[in-house]
């Protein structure tokens, strides 16, 4: 169950980052509030996952899911770079997240 909570927290973290991108430096109230609410929801789920998972593992996976997800959204929705070295680096983060999950299994 903790891994499901952690996965949910990471997914919500992606939504938070996208909302904050649209917040335009906190100048747009609706995306700003959405970003804050999603950040709190993500931290809430992370906190519950930490009851069963090692803190270092959970935090690394949580930030990794967020980083990977935001990078993918950036490429697909915002036309960000798909330079080969960038994709390799994102792949390394994926490898690290999967590796941490396998080590905890």
Count of domains observed in the chain? 1
Tokens of 22: 């649209």
Closest alpha carbon to 2 in 39, 61, 55, 50 = 50
Write down the pTM of the prediction: 0.89
Closest alpha carbon to 50 in 3, 100, 97 = 3
Query: By residue range, what is the domain housing residue 9?
Result: 2-104
In percent, the amount of the chain with pLDDT more than 70 equals 99
Per-residue pLDDT reduced to its tens digit, 13-51: 999 999 999 999 999 999 999 999 999 999 999 999 999
């Amino acid at each position: 169950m903790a891994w499901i909570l952690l996965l949910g927290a990471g997914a919500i973290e992606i939504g938070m980052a996208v909302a904050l991108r649209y917040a335009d430096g906190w100048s747009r109230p609706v995306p700003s509030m959405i970003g804050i609410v999603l950040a709190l929801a993500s931290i809430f789920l992370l906190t519950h996952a930490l009851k069963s998972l090692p803190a270092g593992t959970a935090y690394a996976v949580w930030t990794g899911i967020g980083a990977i997800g935001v990078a993918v959204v950036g490429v697909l929705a915002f036309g960000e770079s798909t330079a080969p070295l960038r994709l390799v680096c994102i792949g390394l983060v994926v490898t690290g997240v999967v590796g941490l999950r396998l080590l905890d299994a």
